[in-house]
Amino acid sequence: MQVELDFRNVDSQITPGTFVDWPIHRTYATLFVPSTAVATDLQRTFVIRVRQGKADWVDVKTGVTANGKVEVFGDLQSVDIVVANVTDSIRSGAALSTTQPN
């Protein structure tokens, strides 16, 4: 994301037009999922959580994207299992089985 800001450049190490990595630190824990686990249709952005062997669509808002993962905010916990390659053809309530990645 490009931003423009004014700051004190006391030692003149930054020149106009310089690109700078600006790390983001949250004061709270957030969840990251593979970018392929997030889908958007005409009405919502969601992930599909596996709950009691069934598909459960969970609305999310997305945040930072890095290294093939996207930050998600919604009704999810770190212990939840989400579908890695989501599609809206997996209907809510559909039976799902899970496998652990190698």
Give residue-wise pLDDT tens across range 56-84: 999 999 998 989 999 999 999 999 999 99
CA distance 66 to 41: 22
Alpha helices in the chain (DSSP H): none
CA distance 9 to 29: 32
| Single-letter residue type at 75 | D
Q: What is the pLDDT of residues 11-50, one digit of tens each?
A: 888 888 777 777 777 788 889 999 999 999 889 999 999 9
The angle at the Cα of 57, spanning 54 to 58, to the nearest 5 degrees, equals 125
User: Within 10 A of 58 (CB to CB), how many other CB atoms are there?
Assistant: 17
